[in-house]
Structure 1
Amino acid sequence: MPNKQIVIVGAGPAGLACAEILSELGDYDITVYEQKPSAARKFLMAGKTGLNISHVEDLDIFISRYDHAEWLRPMIELCNAETIQAWMKGLGIESYIGSSGRIFPNEMKAAPLLRAWLKRLQQRGVKFFYRHQVMRMNSLELTVLDLSHQQQHTLKADAIILACGAVSWPQLGSDGQWQHWLDPCVIQPFSASNVGVLVKWSRYLQPIFGQPLKRIKAWAEGQTPQYGEMVISHYGLEGGLVYRCNRDLRETMKTQKSTILYLDLLPDWDQTQILHKLQQGKKQSLNTLWQKIGLDKTKIALIRDVVSKADWNDALKMAQHIKQLVIQIHGLRPVEEAISCVGGVRLEALDKDLMLKNSPHIFACGEMLDWDAPTGGYLLTACLATGRWAGAGVHQRLNAPEKS
């Protein structure tokens, strides 16, 4: 009896994780189609400055970082940080835990890990077809275009796994074309996540564009302040701390044109301490005084740009501004610039195995599903976890006893 034919569309982390688990679970003919010339291009781009693949922290806290935490919980419990480190080691890639709890390969880069991963998959018989673009999907039949020779062919599979990515960084392959293959009712429209926010700076702030705001806290209205840093850019603010506030800012802006991001510029001091220091230094210039209480040149420039000049010499008002600086946010940068997206295949359109309820034996995984997470290893972890889960789901479905 011939082996079951399994097609995976997309050679990113989720698709590769799916291929890997299937190659372990059964004797399948597994084929991966990728429209780009090579695998996992976004994965490689993300790893250029250091591949943060997961994060070591209490599992409940880790899972709480996701917007659909309980839905993802069983998948991440089976593909947690410890599991990922062991998997990397099995590929010959040693890892280390940074001071912030983030997990990196010792070499920092993504390329050695990807090479080892692809080599193992190929040794297990997984076939890869690059520069092959899926044009149409009709049930378990796919029309694929060979981009190198501009030839189309049709193929049938026993199961199809869509691991096509979302719509951020489309130049790397995640262009969202797969949305045309599915019923629109199963797709939640995409919007940006982990992306910069728009602020209307004055021209006087231009000299500090690109400078970081270090050791601060930030929060949206009604949310818990989070510690970290961000960067002042020509369009507003970017960086890890503001990305962690994206979800709350985005929700507010669904019903209004702008919202507020609050910054605590001196989180190690309380307002009373700051007020006392400001009152003691009345004879000093403002710049000298502000520097003495711990504000660097970037923070001072920011204060001068957003705080009314009438408040600068009022110690009480300045202490309040320093602890709760109001930044007016006018929007988010385009989704194409985002590190990740929220939106995609609706979770209620999937069964417990990540199979589309209205399309038997068609599964979906990775960033094309409607879940959201901050940067810091959470995105990659969920891609690996949903890929493995979908692969296990395919195996279970293909081997389930037929109902009489």
Structure 2
Amino acid sequence: MTRDHEAAAPDAVVVGGGPAGLMAADALLSAGHRVLLAEAKPSVGRKFLMAGKSGLNLTRAQPFGDFLAAYGGAEPALRPMLKGFTPETVQAWAEGLGQTTFTGSTGRVFPTAMKASPLLRAWMARLDDMGLERRTRWRWTGWDGDALTFDTPEGTMQLAPRVSVLALGGASWARLGSDGEWAKTFQRAGVSVAPFEPANAGLLVDWSAHMQPHFGAPLKNVTFRAGELVSRGEAVISARGLEGGGLYPLSPALRQGAGLEIDLAPDLTAEALEERLARPRGKQSLSNHLRKVLKLSPATRALLMECARPLPSDPSALAHLLKALPVPHRGLRPLDEAISTAGGVPFAALDAGLMLKGRPGTFCAGEMIDWEAPTGGYLLTACLATGLWAGRHAAAFLSSGRGPAS
């Protein structure tokens, strides 16, 4: 049996130890406030560390208008936050923590160390030096009046800070802490939450046995299209379908049931393709002809055969097929297998400072807000930017003298 305990409340409580929560805590501490960080898992930054295992993509170096466009319909709401923490600011922030950065050929920005762990260690050392109080294995369970309630190893705890920042994550990678269970608590409290849906997720395709030798093979130098969305990049053929950074930006359209088309020769026009395909092939098979005149990889040729066999013999028809190969699919992979999620607290429920309109002094940040973005630095930048924005506005709320304890 657990007992209720009441802890002495700090000025501010940040719930969630991911990038958004840590940035909110940083902003509040920088403003001179006492901050307690509550994290449900045994340690902070678990999803952050996992994302950095193959190279931590901090942000994207590109013209700012193009950068903003990656956020789709959420761009107008996110714009002031991203202007306050631009890709250049992200790089300066990382270097201020002793982590030099470099920019790859596609504009992706990485720490020189590539991994997330050195950056997280330096960040936590900074926060600890500023006086951050940390509690792990504290799972937020809702509100009791003005108080936040937590399940902890010591029993049920309550805290009644003057402000709180909730950075509870989305609903993917539940084992790392983002299980979306908080949405039920919000709904019970009368706060609307848009349903969670997969974003940056692989695509389910039912392959024939002929594709098995190509599982794990990359599709390079192709362009993906779904609805009005277009993305040039790479994907990998997997046993369950397709996955990869080139495909992820199409998630909003694919989630709505749009078909997928792949341009297998994006650097050539249909007319140029037709000219090459019309060259005499003698006794060569069509597959060998495609390999020689177009330099299509074995995986690309296999995909073409899988989705369009029998191929048309007319060069013009075949050229147009190569420019828009339809790939039948069964939609995106399940929610918990997605890198991120759409859905969450709608911006309409928040004021300009990311404070819940129906609960003064309670701010939201990060993936728990209803926005989405492709991988490639966009996700992390917006998590950091919204965390900083919420933390600064929470600090301003404290300075205004408002709140339950004022």
What residue is the counterpart of 2:385 in the other structure? 385
What residue is the counterpart of 1:256 in the other structure? none
Quick one: distance in 2 between partners of 1:132 and 1:402? 27
- Matched residue SS, 1:186: coil
Q: Between Structure 1 and Structure 2, how many residues are aligned?
A: 391
Quick one: distance in 2 between partners of 1:185 and 1:390? 18
Q: Could you tell me which of 151, 155, 173 is aligned with 1:169?
A: 173
Quick one: distance in 2 between partners of 1:51 and 1:402? 39
What residue is the counterpart of 1:317 in the other structure? 317
What residue is the counterpart of 1:15 in the other structure? 21
Quick one: distance in 2 between partners of 1:377 and 1:159? 30
Asked whether 1:159 is paired with 2:163, we answer yes
Q: CA 1:401–1:133 in structure 2 vs 1: closer, same or farther (change >3 Å)?
A: closer
Asked whether 1:249 is paired with 2:250, we answer no
Q: Could you tell me which of 8, 12, 16 is aligned with 1:6?
A: 12
Q: CA 1:155–1:402 in structure 2 vs 1: closer, same or farther (change >3 Å)?
A: closer
What residue is the counterpart of 2:4 in the other structure? none
How far residue 280 of structure 1 moved from its aligned partner, in angstroms, is 1.1
Quick one: distance in 2 between partners of 1:152 and 1:316? 70
How far residue 401 of structure 1 moved from its aligned partner, in angstroms, is 5.6
Quick one: distance in 1 between partners of 2:286 and 2:343? 47
> Cα deviations across residues 291-314 of structure 1 (Å, max 9, x unaligned)?
0122110111111111131x3433
8 Å CA contact retained: 2:17, 2:37: yes
Q: How does 1:25-64 map to 2 (within 5 A)?
A: 25-26=31-32, 28-64=33-69
8 Å CA contact retained: 1:140, 1:160: no
What 5-or-longer segments of structure 2 have no aligned partner?
Answer: 1-7
8 Å CA contact retained: 2:192, 2:349: yes
How far residue 202 of structure 1 moved from its aligned partner, in angstroms, is 1.3
8 Å CA contact retained: 1:91, 1:117: yes
What residue is the counterpart of 1:262 in the other structure? 261
> Cα deviations across residues 52-107 of structure 1 (Å, max 9, x unaligned)?
01011111110111021011011001101111111111111111111111110000
Q: How does 1:5-404 map to 2 (within 5 A)?
A: 5-26=11-32, 28-67=33-72, 68-147=74-153, 149=154, 151-183=155-187, 185-221=191-227, 223=228, 225-251=230-256, 253=257, 259-283=258-282, 284-292=284-292, 293-309=294-310, 311-400=311-400
8 Å CA contact retained: 1:159, 1:394: yes
Q: What letter is aligned with 1:164?
A: L
How far residue 181 of structure 1 moved from its aligned partner, in angstroms, is 2.4
8 Å CA contact retained: 2:57, 2:109: yes
Q: What letter is aligned with 2:314?
A: D
How far residue 278 of structure 1 moved from its aligned partner, in angstroms, is 1.5
Quick one: distance in 1 between partners of 2:230 and 2:376? 18
Tell me the percent identity.
Answer: 42
> Cα deviations across residues 152-193 of structure 1 (Å, max 9, x unaligned)?
222211111100101100000111121132135520000000
Q: What letter is aligned with 1:356?
A: L
Structure-2-length-normalised TM-score: 0.93
Structure-1-length-normalised TM-score: 0.93
- Matched residue SS, 2:168: coil
What residue is the counterpart of 2:3 in the other structure? none
Quick one: distance in 2 between partners of 1:139 and 1:266? 61
